[in-house]
Amino acid sequence: MANITVLDQDTINQIAAGEVIERPASVVKELLENAIDAGSTAVTIETKEGGLSLVRVTDNGCGIPAGEIPLAFLRHSTSKIRSAADLMTVSSLGFRGEALSSIAAVCQVELITKPQEALTGACYSIEGGQEKSLKEVGAPDGTTFLVRNLFYNTPARRKFLKAPATEGGYIADLAEKMALSHPEVSIRLIQNGSNKLFTTGNGSLKDLIYMIYGRDISANTLEVQADSPLMQVSGYIGKPVIARGNRAYENYFINGRYIRSRLISKAIEDAYKPFMMLHKYPFTVLHLTIEPELLDVNVHPTKMELRFKQEDQIYKALYQALSDALSGKEFIPEVSAGK
Ligand code: ADP
Ligand code: MG
């Protein structure tokens, strides 16, 4: 016999959190996206124990007005879209209004924030979806999130996490991708007190590639810059000599968003086919700019996948851009001069 009931909000949030927050790196991704959406020019990420015990993200963005803080932690609350129609043109990284409610459902969260125009800041704390306090405090402009003890109230999920060193590695990878996706934002990552990454935010993709991948990779890249009516392609691609046995060096960003896409990977790999051995994958750091109307970013809660309208043309434009960049080149590897 049926005994159907609507779940309470805390239970709904915990279930929903499972789709957005899988591991500490998911927390970092969502907080970094929010920092970038807030117009920050510098963001610092600090983690302890691979982010399991602490993730702290500090930005110098627009801040959250004290009166709106509790609202920001409700599910489906966002300042970035107003209606389904806005999904067609969304250019911010976030828009689903799920991250803060999801993080707060499975962690202990403290938020300190101050918009530039506010006289004082606010400190808010929430644990397992339960609001603890909201106080006025002195604070610098911008926002700091402290997220402690991921999955403290869902031990079954905590068990699925890997060792802190592995989780920390995922965070470091993510920070690098986010840095490459936004060269104009300075990103600092500190893990267990030691500096792991610092990018200047000077806007140069080439500098970032040098910083993250080192001189030998950076010296063996070709610049790509191609405009077609559908899409702009810019960035750097590796000479075949620096190809790898997996896709770890295949980076591409669409409208500043780090994503995975079979269509994009296929266009890249097909363009490389004449120059590459089987089971080798190229080095790429490509920024694709596509009209938001041609994309559906609302495919999955983690926003790592998207759907394209006019798939064939997008494939062709990218394939062509890379083929042009590769053709006629003599792939003489640059040997580093050493130290
Ligand atoms: P979304 O990013 O999809 O809008 P979130 O749950 O991630 O949803 O955040 C909810 C809202 O909280 C955002 O729309 C934004 O207005 C505000 N917010 C979150 N993080 C920040 C931040 N670092 N700086 C300024 N505002 C923020
Ligand atoms: Mg967000």
Segment 11-57, tens digit of pLDDT? 888 888 888 999 999 999 999 999 999 999 999 999 999 999 999 99
For residues 319 and 226, what is the distance between their CA atoms, to the nearest angstrom?
Answer: 11
Identify residue 325 by its one-letter amino acid code: A
Sheet of 42-48, strand order: 130-137, 121-127, 108-114, 142-148, 54-59, 42-48, 186-191, 194-198
In short, whether 63's Cβ falls inside 6 Å of ligand 1 is: yes
Task: Give 45's contacts (C-beta < 8 A, 6+ positions apart).
Answer: 28, 31, 32, 55, 56, 57, 171, 175, 187, 188, 189, 190
With cut-offs at 50, 70 and 90, classify the pLDDT of residue 332: low
Packing angle, helices 311-326 and 262-272, rounded to 10: 30
The residue written with tokens 């801040």 in the block is 63
Sign of the CA dihedral running 206, 209, 215, 219: negative
Which parts of the chain fold into alpha helices (H)? 9-20, 24-37, 69-72, 99-106, 155-158, 164-181, 205-213, 215-219, 262-272, 311-326
Per-residue pLDDT at 263 = 96
What average pLDDT does range 303-314 have in this prediction?
A: 93
Mutating to test ligand 1, I would choose from 19, 20, 31, 34 the residue with most ligand atoms within 8 A of its C-beta, which is 34
Taking the CA atoms of the chain, what radius of gyration do you get in angstroms? Answer: 21
Which residue's alpha carbon is nearest to atom 20 within ligand 1? 34
Q: What are phi and psi of 204, to 5 degrees?
A: -90, 115
* CB 212, CB 176: distance < 8 Å: yes
Q: How many CB atoms lie within 10 A of CB 79?
A: 16
Does the CB atom of residue 94 touch ligand 1 within 6 A? yes
Greater confidence, 333 or 75? 75
Q: Are strands 186-191 and 194-198 parallel, antiparallel or unpaired?
A: antiparallel
Given pLDDT bands bounded at 50, 70 and 90, which one contains residue 339?
very low
Question: Two tokens at 61?
Answer: 């963005």
Domains and CATH numbers, the chain: 9-198 (3.30.565.10), 214-326 (3.30.230.10)
User: 230-284 pLDDT, tens per residue?
Assistant: 999 999 999 999 999 999 999 999 999 999 999 999 999 999 999 998 899 999 9
On the 0-12 / 13-18 / 19+ scale of CB atoms within 10 A, 113 is buried
pLDDT of residue 337: 53
Indicate whether residue 97 lines ligand 1 (CB < 6 A): yes
Vertex 56: Cα angle to 55 and 58 (nearest 5): 150
Mean pLDDT of the 120-146 span: 97
For residue 209, the CA-to-ligand 1 centroid distance in Å is 29
What would the pLDDT profile of 77-117 be if each residue is shown by its tens digit? 999 999 998 988 889 999 999 999 999 999 999 999 999 99
CA dist., res. 320 & res. 314, Å (int): 10
* Phi-psi map region of 16: left, alpha, beta (phi>0 left; psi -120 to 50 alpha): alpha
Q: Which atom of ligand 1 is nearest to the CA of 95?
A: 3
Q: What is the mean pLDDT of the chain?
A: 94
The arithmetic mean of pLDDT across residues 187-215, rounded, is: 98
What is the CB neighbour count within 10 angstroms for residue 63?
A: 22
Could you tell me how far CA 153 lies from the centroid of its own chain? Answer: 26
- Name the amino acid, one letter, at 152: Y
Residue 333, pLDDT > 80, answer no
DSSP-derived secondary structure letter, 287: E
Q: How confident is the model at residue 334 (pLDDT cuts 50, 70, 90)?
A: low
- For the entire predicted model, the pTM comes to 0.94
How far, in Å, is the centroid of ligand 1 from the Cα of 220? 39
| Structure token digits, residue 118 | 């506010």
Whole-number pLDDT of residue 168: 98
